[in-house]
């Protein structure tokens, strides 16, 4: 369970450039939820991610995951709970390392080791092959390929799969398909849905794509001026159409 109580984040407080990025935002999210975040630029979506991960300091409020007060933790300590997938597919993986080496780094996020590659054993390699094969990606036999030789969509999809190796609780995806061609975007979306179906993680997914907002996930949050303006269940949002969503933003 994620429980967020009245968090606020202000940038440049007390200056002419003051921005109230989040304003007394409260939210409860059940385990194994797929929550889509929609809103215009500056509405608070990315700041919400930063507040959860600890890269943005909250002015007030509390954040709990499984009753743990993570608002008291620094970003490094919180990193074992969260995996982030960014718009730029190059940010989630190390270009100069192989697929298997990237997976090893991801797996070590929750374990200590003096040598990050010491555990690339036959058993670990087999496990990575199984994870990739189950996803449907045709990369199970390319574990020694450099990440830099893969497409952006393949790298985004592998970033998601690496999150499952690290036993994280929450995957935060910030417009993961925005920089991809349609075929690569479909690959990432399909991988996301398979992970949601087959693992216990909670997913937060930021998008500006109205079609994704309606079709993906089991809950939709629409952000406006640092607050959650609309909180719709899967049943509710399935009744919406794209014209209604566009109209809401035109009015806002």
User: Two tokens at 178?
Assistant: 């925005």
Query: What is the per-residue pLDDT for 2?
Result: 97
What is the pTM for the complete model shown? 0.88
Indicate the average pLDDT of the chain.
89
Query: Mean pLDDT over residues 149-159, rounded?
Result: 92
CB 2 within 8 A of CB 29: yes
Residue 110 has pLDDT above 60, yes or no: no
Computed from CA positions of residues 144, 127, 133, 109, in that sequence, does the dihedral angle turn out positive or negative?
negative
Query: What is the per-residue pLDDT for 114?
Result: 46
Query: Mean pLDDT over residues 79-100, rounded?
Result: 89
**Is residue 29 exposed (0-12), middle (13-18) or buried (19+ Cβ within 10 Å)?**
middle
Residue 73 has pLDDT above 80, yes or no: yes
Query: What is the per-residue pLDDT for 157?
Result: 92
Buried (b) or exposed (e) across 120-129, using 16+ Cβ within 10 A? beeeeeeebb
Which residues have CB under 8 Å from 31's CB, separation 6+? 1, 200, 202
Question: How many percent of the chain have pLDDT more than 70?
Answer: 91
Q: pLDDT tens digits for 181-222?
A: 898 899 999 999 999 998 899 999 999 888 888 889 999 999
- The span from the CA of 67 to the CA of 183, in Å, is 40
Three-state DSSP class for 124? helix
Q: Which CATH architecture has domain 2-251?
A: 3-Layer(aba) Sandwich (3.40)
């Amino acid at each position: 369970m994620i429980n967020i109580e009245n968090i606020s984040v202000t940038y440049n407080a007390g200056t002419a450039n003051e921005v109230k990025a989040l304003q007394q935002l409260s939210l409860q999210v059940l385990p194994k939820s797929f929550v889509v975040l929609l809103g215009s630029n500056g509405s608070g979506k990315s700041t919400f991610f930063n507040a959860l991960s600890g890269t943005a300091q909250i002015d007030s409020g509390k954040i709990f995951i499984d009753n743990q007060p993570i608002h008291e933790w620094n970003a490094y300590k919180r990193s074992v709970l969260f995996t982030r997938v960014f718009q730029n597919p190059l940010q989630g993986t190390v270009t100069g390392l192989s697929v298997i080496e990237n997976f090893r780094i991801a797996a070590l996020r929750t374990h200590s080791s003096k040598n990050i590659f010491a555990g690339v054993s036959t058993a670990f390699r087999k496990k990575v092959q199984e994870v990739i094969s189950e996803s449907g990606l045709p990369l199970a036999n390319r574990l020694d390929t450099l990440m830099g030789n893969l497409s952006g969509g393949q790298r985004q999809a592998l970033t998601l799969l690496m999150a499952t190796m690290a036993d994280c609780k929450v995957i935060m995806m910030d417009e993961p398909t925005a920089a991809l061609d349609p075929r690569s975007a479909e690959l990432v979306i399909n991988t996301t849905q398979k992970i949601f179906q087959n693992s216990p993680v909670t997913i937060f997914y930021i998008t500006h794509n109205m079609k994704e907002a309606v079709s993906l996930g089991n809950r939709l949050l629409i952000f406006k001026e640092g607050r959650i303006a609309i909180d719709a269940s899967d049943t509710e949002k399935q009744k919406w159409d794209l014209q209604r969503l566009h109209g809401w933003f035109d009015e806002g």
